[in-house]
């Protein structure tokens, strides 16, 4: 999420979009390096290659708007405004991490920036998004909820029931599918007969649109319309952002069910490189300005790792803290 995306000039806006995409890119690269070196516990599902989707989407949101994310959630959470140091500390399972080491890579949450949580169970965030949308409507808060999910998740029952409920109650939810063409090793064409995930919107009487998920400005444009619609009380939309993950399903999984040619073709459509080139060719930024952004993000990343490394482990007697809500008093 950007500071004030709507009122910034295009130049500032583009610099902010590039900065956020680069934060995600460097965070994922560093996390992968640390994971391969055995420094991070658990699993690591990288969003390398998919950066334009969360940054484009979250640039249309307010701080108090909500997102729900997935097992591949680092990019979504950073795009919504999470701090790199606390993110990295959570991956290191340190006390200073967002969830004090109880969440790890797949379950980061921070209500103060509208991150309701990332979910390791595929499709489980969608009904929660509908519930958050209902809450926003009942409280008349004007908040919008974005539910991020994958192409594979759109075959889960939770996807269908959540969209149906959101549609009949006109809930302020934007369902954003990050279609990276695979669910683990299963290609989308194998588990879905419809051409586009967005085609499924018609079954629920809501708008559905597909967009090039590696084109950040295109993502931003369709999201802005869907967010406006949701905020105006007109109900949910289904967006499909077609993109590609640069790595295997998780770090360490070779991804060799994808042909070399296919991977190379998508590498040429790298969203970070494409946007960098656009900024230069349109004169939105100079090479010096872009290099300065890159140096700053690099420094920020090094500081995040240093913070995580220097942070303490959680104490054993904290293991039960923060797990349950308080007792309900009538």
Ligand X SMILES: Cc1ncc(C[n+]2csc(CCOP(=O)(O)OP(=O)(O)O)c2C)c(N)n1
Which one of ligand X, Mg ion, none interacts with residue 153, CB within 5 to 8 A by kind? ligand X
- Beta carbon nearer to ligand X, 120 or 207: 120
User: Which residue, 256 or 313, is less far from ligand X as judged by CB?
Assistant: 256
Chain residues 169-188 in contact with ligand X, contact rule CB under 6 A: 180, 182-184
List, in order, residues 6 or more apart from 1 with CB less than 8 Å away: 58, 59, 61, 62, 63, 65, 79, 80, 81, 113, 114
Span 249-308, contacts to ligand X by CB under 6 A? 249
Q: According to the binding rule CB under 6 A, does residue 200 interact with ligand X? A: no
At a CB cut-off of 8 Å and minimum separation 6, what does 5 contact?
A: 13, 16, 59, 60
Residue 71 partner contact from ligand X, Mg ion, none using kind-dependent CB cut-offs of 5 to 8 Å: ligand X
84-91 and 10-36 are packed helices; what angle lies between their axes, rounded to 10 degrees? 20
Residue at token pair 């594979």: 152
Span 164-223, contacts to Mg ion by CB under 5 A: 180, 183
The 221-250 contact track toward ligand X, x by CB under 6 A, reads ----------------------------x-
127 binds ligand X, rule: CB under 6 A: no
* 151 lies in the site for Mg ion, by CB under 5 A: yes
Which of helix, strand or coil describes residue 67?
strand
Closest residue to ligand X using C-beta atoms: 150
Using the minimum distance from each CB to Mg ion, give the nearer residue, 13 or 44.
44
Task: Check binding of 66 to ligand X (CB under 6 A).
Answer: no
Question: How far does the chain reach from its first CA to its final CA, in angstroms?
Answer: 38
Binding residues for ligand X restricted to 68-107, rule: CB under 6 A: 71-72
Answer yes or no: are the C-beta atoms of 122 and 70 closer than 8 Å. yes
**Angstrom distance (rounded) from CA 79 to CA 15:** 14
Binding range to Mg ion, per CB under 5 A, among 32-40, 89-97, 152-160, 320-328: 152-160
Among 150, 208, 236, 248, binds Mg ion (CB under 5 A): 150
Name the minimum Å distance from CB 250 to Mg ion: 12
User: 10-36 vs 271-281: helix axis angle to the nearest 10?
Assistant: 150
- Minimum Å gap between C-beta 72 and ligand X is 4
Among 152, 172, 236, 271, binds ligand X (CB under 6 A): 152
Q: What is the nearest approach in angstroms of ligand X to the Cβ of residue 306? A: 30
Which stretches within 99-182 are classed as H helix?
Answer: 125-139, 157-168
In our burial notation (b when 16+ CB lie closer than 10 A, e otherwise), range 299-327 reads: ebbeebbebbeebeebeeeeeeeeeeeee
- CA 85/CA 29 separation, integer angstroms: 15
Radius of gyration of the chain (CA): 19
Which chain residues interact with Mg ion by CB under 5 A? 150-152, 180, 183
Which chain residues interact with ligand X by CB under 6 A? 71-72, 120-122, 150-153, 180, 182-184, 249
């Amino acid at each position: 999420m950007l500071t004030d995306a709507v009122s910034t000039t295009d130049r500032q806006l583009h610099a902010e979009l590039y900065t956020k995409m680069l934060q995600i890119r460097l965070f994922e690269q560093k996390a992968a390096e640390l994971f391969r070196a055995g420094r991070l516990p658990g699993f690591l599902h990288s969003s390398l290659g998919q950066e334009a989707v969360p940054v484009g989407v979250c640039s249309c949101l307010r701080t108090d708007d909500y997102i729900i994310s997935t097992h591949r959630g680092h990019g979504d959470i950073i795009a919504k405004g999470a701090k790199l140091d606390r993110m990295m500390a959570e991956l290191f399972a340190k006390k200073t991490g967002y969830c004090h080491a109880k969440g790890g890579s797949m379950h980061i949450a921070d209500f103060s920036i509208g991150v309701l949580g990332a979910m390791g169970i595929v499709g489980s965030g969608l009904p929660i998004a509908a519930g958050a949308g209902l809450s926003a409507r009942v409280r008349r808060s004007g908040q919008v909820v974005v539910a991020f999910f994958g192409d594979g998740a759109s075959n889960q029952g939770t996807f269908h029931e959540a969209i149906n409920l959101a549609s009949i109650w006109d809930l302020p939810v934007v369902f954003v599918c990050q279609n990276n063409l695979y669910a683990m090793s299963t290609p989308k064409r194998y588990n879905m007969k419809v051409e586009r995930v967005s085609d499924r919107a018609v079954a629920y009487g809501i708008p559905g649109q597909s967009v090039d998920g590696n084109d950040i400005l295109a993502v931003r444009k369709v999201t802005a319309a869907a967010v406006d619609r949701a905020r105006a009380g007109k109900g949910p939309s289904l967006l499909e952002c077609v993109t590609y993950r640069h790595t295997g399903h998780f770090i360490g999984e070779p991804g060799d069910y994808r042909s070399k040619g296919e991977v190379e073709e998508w590498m040429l459509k790298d969203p970070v490189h494409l946007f960098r080139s656009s900024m230069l060719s349109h004169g939105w930024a100079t090479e010096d300005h872009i290099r300065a952004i890159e140096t700053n993000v690099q420094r920020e990343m090094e500081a995040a790792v240093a913070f995580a490394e220097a942070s303490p482990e959680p104490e054993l007697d904290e293991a039960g803290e923060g797990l349950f809500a308080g007792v309900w008093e009538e």
